[in-house]
Amino acid sequence: MSEIQIKVKKLDPRASLPSRSSLTAAGADLRVVLDEPVTINPGETYFCHTGIAAEIPDGYAGFVFARSGLGTKQGLAPANKVGVVDSDYRGEFMVALHNHSSEPRTIEHGDRIAQLVIMPVAMASYVECEELSDTERADGGFGSTGVK
């Protein structure tokens, strides 16, 4: 497995670097930086500070995903589903954590709130054309390839 190094700057001395829970985990946990516990009510979104910024290499992007346990057990997941951190962004990583549950949920300083996955991205250019190539699916939309 290849590994790249990501430079991370702590913007807050209480911040934690992203960390993987196992050697082969794809995602590195992001932890919240808080002065005191915060309760997120059902249907509300709270913007969580992580206290870190990073230098993602050109040709890569960071993708901020929900942590599966937090989402399924607590109903807390990023409001935008997947956050995209471009390689030229140098600001603080923030997570808009949304409470999808019917119960208030409390987060505390240092809680793992999301996971960061670094992936290569193709830099595409978009060219207008008159026709697209034919495929078996053609313009079949949602559910068009599934078995009924």
Evaluate whether residue 131 is within a structural domain. Answer: no
The yes-or-no verdict on residue 1 having pLDDT over 90 is: no
Task: State residue 148's pLDDT score.
Answer: 56
How many structural domains is the chain composed of?
A: 1
Inter-residue contact 74 to 105 (CB < 8 Å): yes
Evaluate whether residue 12 is within a structural domain. Answer: yes
Mean pLDDT of 132-139: 85
Task: Return the structure tokens found at 60.
Answer: 């890569």
Evaluate whether residue 126 is within a structural domain. Answer: no
Please report the sign of the dihedral spanned by the C-alpha atoms of residue 20, residue 10, residue 76, residue 82: negative
Residue, of 148 and 98, whose pLDDT is higher: 98
Evaluate whether residue 147 is within a structural domain. Answer: no
Task: State residue 145's pLDDT score.
Answer: 67
Mean pLDDT of 135-147: 72
Nearest to 118 by CA among 67, 75, 70, 54: 54
Task: State residue 91's pLDDT score.
Answer: 98
CATH assignment at residue 104: 2.70.40.10
Task: State residue 147's pLDDT score.
Answer: 60
Task: State residue 139's pLDDT score.
Answer: 77
Its domain, for residue 104, covers 7-120
pLDDT tens-digit readout, 28-59: 999 999 999 999 999 999 999 999 999 999 99
Distance CA 86, CA 145 (A): 32
Task: State residue 141's pLDDT score.
Answer: 72
What's the whole-model pTM score?
0.89
